[in-house]
Structure 1
Amino acid sequence: MSRSNPPARERRATRLARKAAETLAHDTAIHPNPSDRVVLAGSSGGHLAQLLPLRDLFAPDHRTWVTFQTPDAVGALAEEGDVVWGHHPTTRNIPNLLRNAAQAWRVMRRVRPDYVVSTGAAIALPYFVLSRLFGARTIYIEVYDRVDSATLTARLCRPFTDLFAVQWPEQRPLFRGAVVIGPLL
């Protein structure tokens, strides 16, 4: 597929991401720009799908992706330069949590990001915790399909989050001070 004539879905995702970025810049003190180094950490599947529209907010050589090596993620990130494959499963798996924490330490030390951005799930936690040590600002975007309750990862990452964003106004009451950026998909 040619990048010069992206399909309608990709154009819509880019439009939504730009709208989200404008909301971030207008409504918050967070103003990411293309020259900032960013770690985009999220589980594969829907979490990664919600991060992908944000790719054009940062220069290709300043983006580092962290996700799980699944067929959908491998295909979606095939043209990306810096991809780190996390260890999964993460649900109730202490050994993989420790492996991902050690990996996060190495990635954060190598990349020295200005921002860490995530939509969850568990892969995000070590990056958010370590962001404090490395001076990175953090943006957590709650997933679009959890409207009536907070995800566990959102609750765990919240203390380490500089900007907490939600995609629907209905999600705002779940998170004091959250910014509604609109849907990413």
Structure 2
Amino acid sequence: MKHFLMAGVIGAAVLAAGAATAECREVDAAMLALPLHAFDQTGQGWRSLDAEGCERQTAEAIRRYRDLNADALGAGADTLLWHEAQLRAAAGETEEAIRLMLRSREQDSDEFRPYTDATIAFLRGDREALIAARERLVSLPKPEAFARAAARYAETYPDHPPLSWPLNLDVVDRLIACFGQPYREAYSCEAPVAWNDD
């Protein structure tokens, strides 16, 4: 469920460009003791640490949280793995990001694997695999429960763009349009989508 819950959120919180910060905030004991939702989905948790240039430190905060709360996380661990992986990719730690994404992928349902595969293909510099993952993503049938889930998402996150199906297609299209750029830049690039080789 990681991508379903987070579609549209991660772009602003993790990878939005901003002014470089001279100093990165440190995670404290109170933050590490937060319940999973508060730590992962609100401004009380790791998102309060993230700033341009602080991705590595923020990823380390997530790793520490995972280590300290391993017994209580259950299915929530894959969401944290994914966010840590994205931060490591944004920090240029490509091999560690791929390793974490592959671990997270083990928990993915069929509708989320194409997005994960597309991201890994981008990080590996494999444009052909990236486009193939996009094709798998657009071929997914819309789940019957999607409209209800999208309505709940809109209520919970009124300041974020609404969900559209398939999830994360916009991200994958940006990765294709800005292929070869660093992940941080490609994730939020505004280049026109021109991925078709025709």
Q: Same fold (TM over 0.5)?
A: no
Task: Give the helix-richer structure, 1 or 2.
Answer: 2
Instruction: Tell me the TM-score normalized by structure 1.
Output: 0.30
